[in-house]
Amino acid sequence: MKETLVHPAGPTDAIKLLQQGWSILVEQLGLQKAMEFTVLLERGKGDSVKDIAEYWGDTCIDKMHSEVLSWKEKM
């Protein structure tokens, strides 16, 4: 059975959000690193959203963005 994506606004918005997220990952990290990132999330057992929230804590989006850019420069 195919799993349904859950989003408060409905499955179509969930698909759009996934597409936007993937586009941003590829744009910022490149295809290879974006794929590595998603594989790392899929490998874990448990709640990846919780894991990401624990990692970033109360970090603002601008700080997250600058961190990702910093990582990209080191590649």
Dump pLDDT digits (tens) for 20-62.
999 999 999 988 888 888 877 766 567 777 877 888 888 888 8
> Three-state DSSP class for 17?
helix
Short-list 17, 40, 20, CA closest to 28? 20
Please state the rounded mean pLDDT for residues 1-26: 73
CB 7 within 8 A of CB 49: no
User: pLDDT confidence of 2, banded at 50, 70, 90?
Assistant: very low
| pLDDT at residue 14 in the model | 78
What pLDDT, on a 0 to 100 scale, did the predictor assign at position 1? 38
Cβ 28 vs Cβ 69: under 8 Å: yes
Q: Describe the chain by its helix, strand, coil percentages, rounded to 5.
A: 75, 0, 25
pTM of the complete model = 0.46
Question: Would you call 75 helix, strand, or coil by DSSP?
Answer: coil
